[in-house]
Chains A and B, each alone.
Chain A
Amino acid sequence: MHNLFLQLRDAPVSAWVGMLIVAFYAIIAIGAPLFAPYAESASVGAQYQPWTAPHYLGTDILGRDVLSRLIYGARNTVGIALATTALAFTLGAVFGLLAATIGGWFDVIASRAVDVLMAIPPLIFALLILTITGTSVVALIVVIAVLDSTRVFRLSRAVAQGILTMDYIEVARMRGEGLFWLIRKEVLPNAAAPLIAEFGLRFCFVFLFISALSFLGLGIQPPTADWGGMVRESAKLISFANFSTWQTATFGLAPLLPAGAIALLTIGVNLVVDWVLHMSSGLKE
């Protein structure tokens, strides 16, 4: 704990910026009902209001408050992305560690299956499967998690294989320790840092992926507020923007606000991941 505190104190500015961004999104997502002035999908005014009180970021095509939808969007989009990443990570890490530890036929079968899954571009594969399953939130989470777990599998398998050649593993095996003891006590603690960094990267990927699907109209379905979907809904507004007054110029920002919200969170997570990777690689500038 003391060690972590020291590392935090020495963290570079970029890492602090990243952590602040992530914390900001986390607070917004958790306290969404407290911060949002209006309900998530209630029609509260005329459609396409400009940016004036009480609708500080205007209203959308159904007269819903854009600010409130952005705030609820944090909860929905980030929540679903987080659940998907957690599932992908559990699947990938469990199979990756098992494949490295058991080896033999299990390793061969799992690795070949992953090779095939990775040979198809994830977006194309996801579209194919979503045609069959339909676009429900559960289908979305499971499909993306399975596709994404392939990369976690490869990383955790490689990391675990590196660790398994160490002498202390040999000693533990000779002591007669079981498979799960080996994974839990020897492999996992040593693989933690790269896996944590990978979690951040995977989250970014999943988050962008879900937003892309929602943007295509195949992800999180309305009326649930979601940033990718909001970009899609407000995309046409951009051509009505004109720069003569700032009120009309805000139409151009309509699709950029949710898209920017996506971009900012991804940057924040990437900054933190860079720092974690830097620490775990043992490089000091």
Chain B
Amino acid sequence: MNSILSIVFKRLLIGLLTLWIVTVIIFAAIEMLPGDIATEMLGQAATEESLAAFREKFDLNRPLHERYFSWLAGAATGDFGISLANQRPISELIGQRTANTFFLAGYAAAISVPIAVVSGMMAALYNGSVFDRLLSNSTLAAISFPEFFIAYILILIFSVGFGWFPSLANVDVDTSLGERLYITFLPAMTLTLIVLAYMMRMTRAAILNLLALPYIEMAHLKGIKRWRVIAVHALPNALAPIINVIALNLAYLIVGVVLVEVVFVYPGLGQTLVDAVSKRDVTVVQAACLIFAATYILLNLLADILSIIANPRLLHPR
């Protein structure tokens, strides 16, 4: 039991170290802007007073490391400072949108994870069947098609063709849950189609690897029933890789959401990030990048830790 704790602790430490380095990189981005931010934003004709006021407002007078720590402390409590472009508090701009983004990613995960795990298992059990081959071919399509291609095909069929779902996923705070689920169905389907094939393929590979091991063959040879071999012998060992697959794909979803939000004009964090990049609104870009990167890193960390904990070999050390 001790060894597993130390492994988890070590992984946790590496994850947090990575997160810290990433915050440094993201913070350093604003420093790498060519020239002085104040003159850049206010123009060459700005008076000395307005420059000083600008520096005061964006807290540019203090030394670099002090600003980093106050930025980090603010970010940890959800206060990201103010936007360069329109001088409004960033938390106000992105608060609701971040929630929207997580809602969409969670929605897509809730659809894709059960389908992927079940059909991945089926494909592994009926290895070489028509279903299995169909799945292999669909993976090719999923890795080859750009996200917006899938999105526009869905729009053309289900929105323009049949008129079942809206092509714009326009939600606000007052939208009820049921309506929200309906409006965001097409974006969620797009995300599902993007990760589904990949997730199924990884689940299938994990189980196939397992079924090829000698102890499974031994169980078969002992005459144990097929479902019992799978449920009692294979599943506990398959849990770790499957959890890993799910968490990795959730991390992927969080990023894939950016393009899908833009296609469906969904008011999410990805949309904000893209707008901020084109306006070169660095402080907003930093906040959005930090949220995306931190979620991504934490999900990867979670994947590793869960798969360490779910590994029966580590739970019963010799």
A residues within 8 Å of B by Cβ?
115-116, 119-121, 123-125, 127-132, 134, 204, 208, 211-212, 215-218, 228, 231, 235, 238-239, 241-243, 252, 255-256, 259-260, 262-263, 266-267, 270-271
Chain B interface mostly:
helix
Query: Contact between B18 and A119 (Cβ–Cβ < 8 Å)?
Result: yes
**Known contacts being A208-B146, A238-B152, A238-B156, is A132 close to B29, with CB within 8 Å?**
yes
Residue on A nearest B251 in the bound complex, by CB: A121
**Roughly how many angstroms separate A222 CA and B92 CA in the complex, as a whole number?**
33
Number of interface residues of B (CB under 8 A): 47
Residue on A nearest B286 in the bound complex, by CB: A128
| Chain A hits for B289, CB < 8 A | 120, 124-125, 127-128
**Roughly how many angstroms separate A119 CA and B274 CA in the complex, as a whole number?**
21
User: Which single member of A131, A217, A238, A271 contacts B155 (CB below 8 Å)?
Assistant: A238
**Roughly how many angstroms separate A130 CA and B276 CA in the complex, as a whole number?**
11
Query: Contact between A121 and B296 (Cβ–Cβ < 8 Å)?
Result: yes
User: Which single member of B144, B147, B274 contacts A266 (CB below 8 Å)?
Assistant: B144
| Chain B hits for A217, CB < 8 A | 274, 278
CB distance from B285 to the nearest CB of A (A): 5
> Does residue B75 face the partner (Cβ distance < 8 Å to A)?
no
Which 5 pairs between the two chains have the least Cβ-Cβ distance? A259-B149, A266-B144, A121-B255, A267-B144, A263-B145
| Chain A hits for B262, CB < 8 A | 215-216
> Does residue B230 face the partner (Cβ distance < 8 Å to A)?
no
> Does residue B148 face the partner (Cβ distance < 8 Å to A)?
yes
B residues within 8 Å of A by Cβ?
18, 21-22, 25-26, 29, 32-33, 140-141, 143-149, 152-153, 155-156, 159-161, 167, 251, 254-255, 258-259, 262-263, 273-274, 276-278, 280, 282, 285-286, 289, 292-293, 296-297, 300
**Roughly how many angstroms separate A252 CA and B277 CA in the complex, as a whole number?**
29
| Chain A hits for B144, CB < 8 A | 204, 263, 266-267, 270
User: Which single member of B29, B161, B167, B280 contacts A243 (CB below 8 Å)?
Assistant: B161
**Known contacts being A235-B263, A256-B153, A260-B149, is A131 close to B277, with CB within 8 Å?**
yes
Query: Contact between A256 and B152 (Cβ–Cβ < 8 Å)?
Result: yes
**Roughly how many angstroms separate A204 CA and B156 CA in the complex, as a whole number?**
25
Residue on A nearest B281 in the bound complex, by CB: A131
CB distance from B241 to the nearest CB of A (A): 20
**Roughly how many angstroms separate A215 CA and B274 CA in the complex, as a whole number?**
11
**Known contacts being A218-B278, A270-B144, is A128 close to B149, with CB within 8 Å?**
no
CB distance from A148 to the nearest CB of B (A): 15
**Roughly how many angstroms separate A3 CA and B270 CA in the complex, as a whole number?**
50
**Known contacts being A239-B160, A270-B140, is A131 close to B282, with CB within 8 Å?**
yes
Residue on A nearest B143 in the bound complex, by CB: A270
| Chain B hits for A216, CB < 8 A | 258-259, 262, 274, 277
Q: List 8 A-B contacts (CB under 8 A).
A: A124-B292, A124-B296, A127-B289, A216-B274, A239-B167, A241-B156, A252-B160, A256-B153
| Chain B hits for A235, CB < 8 A | 148, 152, 263
Residue on A nearest B293 in the bound complex, by CB: A120
Query: Contact between B277 and A119 (Cβ–Cβ < 8 Å)?
Result: no
**Roughly how many angstroms separate A260 CA and B149 CA in the complex, as a whole number?**
7
User: Which single member of B140, B152, B255 contacts A124 (CB below 8 Å)?
Assistant: B255
CB distance from B278 to the nearest CB of A (A): 6
**Known contacts being A127-B285, A216-B259, A263-B149, is A119 close to B280, with CB within 8 Å?**
no
Query: Contact between B146 and A259 (Cβ–Cβ < 8 Å)?
Result: yes
Query: Contact between A132 and B33 (Cβ–Cβ < 8 Å)?
Result: yes
**Roughly how many angstroms separate A256 CA and B152 CA in the complex, as a whole number?**
7
Query: Contact between A267 and B141 (Cβ–Cβ < 8 Å)?
Result: yes
User: Which single member of A115, A242, A266 contacts B160 (CB below 8 Å)?
Assistant: A242
